[in-house]
Amino acid sequence: MVFDRDDVSFIAVLERYGQRLAPACGLLGGFGLNEGALAATVSHDSHNIVVIGRSAEEMALAVNQVIQDGGGLCVVRNGQVQSHLPLPIAGLMSTDTAQSLAEQIDALKAAARECGPLPDEPFIQMAFLSLPVIPALKLTSQGLFDGEKFAFTTLEVTE
């Protein structure tokens, strides 16, 4: 596996169901994040918090906003929350109207686009980065999982 050194972000998965596991952390290549951080509680199948960012400080800010909201999606850039969508029902659903949600999602996606050439649906892409039942490498709250071998694994960094 080879990374473009200019397109590597940090990724972390934080367990949110009281098990008090240490965050699982790794590197993510090819996502297109040039700056800022994105956090979400919509992350299949466990719906833990997934955060991707270029700095630990902005990642922490995004995670803390999602926690404060009782779950949801968040974009941080330049050290500030640019947009967030609270999902207070299990971190997955909202009581807002469809019209209000559509407007909030548009604002969220616009804020995300300011962070770099991300996928068209960055939060949908994020939702599957921790889903261990599909290939290939996935980061879960318990560590790095190889979806092809269906086992936890480690990576060795070489020059």
pTM of the model: 0.88
Rounded mean pLDDT for each run of 10 residues along the chain, 159 residues in total: 76 86 86 96 88 97 98 98 97 96 97 95 90 75 74 74
Give the pLDDT score at 22. 82
Q: In this structure, what is the dihedral angle of CA atoms 38, 41, 43, 47, given to the nearest 10 degrees?
A: 160
Give the pLDDT score at 7. 85
Instruction: Using alpha carbons, select from 76, 84, 40 the residue that is nearest to residue 59.
Output: 76
Give the pLDDT score at 148. 80
